[in-house]
Amino acid sequence: MQVNTSSLLANLEAKNVKNATQKITPRMQNSEAFVPVAVSAKSKSIGNLMDSLFRSLTTSANSKENISQILKSPEITKNIQNPLNTLQTLSNELAREPALQSFAKKIEHFFVQLKDIDAKVLQAQVKNSGPFMESKFQLLEQTPNALPQNLQTVLKAIAQNLQTSQGVLVPKQDLDLLVKTFFEQLASVADLEKGLIKDVQKMFANLSNDGVIKHKNFQDFVKFETLFKDIQKSQLANSLEAIKNVLVKNTNTQLQNVKIQTIAQNLLHVSKNNQIFEPIWKNIQENIAQIKLLPPFKSPLLEVIAKLDTSINASKLTESKINNASVVGSQELQNLQDHIKHIVQNIKVQIPLQNSDTITKIIDTLLKKNDLFAPQQSQLFESSSQLEKLSQLLKNDLKPQEIKQLQTLKEIIHFEKILHKETQLNRLHVPLKIDNISLLKQELSSDIKSTLLGLKDALQNLSSVKQSDTLMQHIDKTLSSIDFYQLSSHVNQSSSSYLPFLWQDLEKGELSFKRLRENRFYCEINLSLKQYGNIDLMLLLHDDICIDLSVYAQNKAFITQFENNLKEYKKGLNDLGLILLHVQFYDMPKDAKIKKQTYDFVKNEQIDMGINIKV
């Protein structure tokens, strides 16, 4: 699923948090100053404690790290129960109050049974669970023609890759050494006219210090190089030619770097401004086309490896589907097989091969196969592993700069793939007439936190409600739990919420998303089940479609049950376009150290919040 969980607080500097929190959490204004958690948990309600922690952020009295540790303390976590339990009680009591029937219906609409959950429903439930209410105010800043979020994300990735994909200049010390050698040779030649020597010295004096050679300088180099050849001073001619070649290389590289940086800034500007109309869209397309024409990215080798890497994921997913008895269309198989063979054939025909014997053998093996995805168990995973080996052999001789350029090409392929889907869905070049305020009202009408805040205001203005104090307690308790997840998201640079659906066996459930470095994504699901006790699931998504899963459970019966149904679980992931590569089961008490190492890894790797996560 795609979950957009951009948080307002995540985009604010510390000095601006105070204004934001006062606006979105009015009861914070009356809260007491921050006090240590051990005292606060005993002397305050959880609601007031959350207010104090929010306030401590505005005064910088405590770092995010400190507040993160506070939120994990048992004094707090034991009081954060499943908000849905309180909401159900609140809904039942509201149903008996005629003046509040509309709020009862809104809350009831939020209740969705586990059996009715699919990716689309879960996305909506997480978005409307409350912790992300404030992020919806960003709708006011959106333009009617907004660039789809998935295209924004890829454009930003391309721009960031471009900024690190510049061509490498010949080191200045190497150029200086060539010049020094040339003048030593020049001084050693006795029969040269003094006027000629002065003209050569003048030519070097006219060169710029940045290693760029202008057209007139280039013509002078060619003139003297030819002259030295004519008077049979080949050593001088060769040295001069070597200097000229370095200057030309540096000049071309610097021009390319300027162009690369200009394109990167253009793409970053578009991705940040989130605006799309005809001139901007043409500019995006032109920039993408220019990248592919620049010499560093026009390399046939890099282009074919980028296509090969893209096809490897498709190959892995297809093999996983076959292995797990998922339905794979014959035309889908044929199209993928034709695509892979076309890429492999291009490698054989176009690319000068290193390690040619090994590479040629792999290519010939793949091309000879009538069916790359034969369902026989002995042949499964053979094609994708051979493709991976082929890709790695081709990458072995790439320079670090070429690896970065390869990543840019892969992002461009990804962008063009998404663009094709968006075009098919008619989401581009379509003038949308959207009233942002109306859209915001529509979004807030489905948000449970917005509903509770509205209900609270209504209760304060209705003297006829008999159980107003009891209702207010239920509202405050639920809002405090939502604040807990919102604050936890902010200080941990994650996107955290409770599980927003009804499940009879569920006592408490939480989920948290984080984006890690190198385009990896992490999801943690914490469950407390009546039958099986505590269960923690940790999922790592990498390479767009591959998932590694760690399962920590108190009850061994749950692990047995999971293992017995593992094939169905893999099949379900395959149907979502994902592959379960690795799964590990752990005893929760015994393997606490391993779990801590995972937490530490995620803590050190996380770089972003407010992201789109596919899981």
Instruction: Please state the φ and ψ torsions of residue 470, each to the nearest 5 degrees.
Output: -65, -45
**Which tokens hold the place of 511?**
């989920």
pLDDT of 71 reads 84
pLDDT of 146 reads 66
| Element spanning 496, H or E | strand 495-498
| Mean pLDDT per 10-residue interval, the chain, length 615 residues | 35 33 34 38 64 75 76 80 89 88 91 88 91 82 67 86 85 90 89 88 85 87 91 91 92 90 88 68 86 89 91 89 82 88 86 72 86 64 84 88 90 87 67 67 90 91 80 91 90 89 91 81 92 93 89 92 92 90 89 78 55 33
Contact 54, 24 (CB under 8 A): no
pLDDT of 144 reads 56
DSSP string, 142-197: --SSPPPHHHHHHHHHHHHHHHT-PPPPPPHHHHHHHHHHHHHHHHH-TTS-HHHH
DSSP string, 535-587: EEEEEEEETTTEEEEEEEES-HHHHHHHHHTHHHHHHHHHHTT-EEEEEEEEE
In the DSSP assignment, the letter for residue 502 is B
Query: Measuring CA to CA, which residue among 134, 125, 137, 142 is closest to residue 446?
Result: 125
**Which tokens hold the place of 369?**
């196969």
Q: What residues contact residue 540 under an 8 Å CB cut-off, 6+ apart?
A: 516, 520, 521, 522, 547, 548, 549
Q: Give the type of residue at 165.
A: S
pLDDT of 605 reads 63
Distance CA(409)–CA(403), nearest Å, equals 10
Distance CA(159)–CA(142), nearest Å, equals 22
Contact 507, 530 (CB under 8 A): yes
**Which tokens hold the place of 487?**
């604050």
Distance CA(475)–CA(452), nearest Å, equals 6
Distance linking the first and last C-alpha atoms of the chain = 6
pTM of the model: 0.72
* Residue 154 CB coordination number (10 Å): 22
User: 3-state class of 524 per DSSP?
Assistant: strand
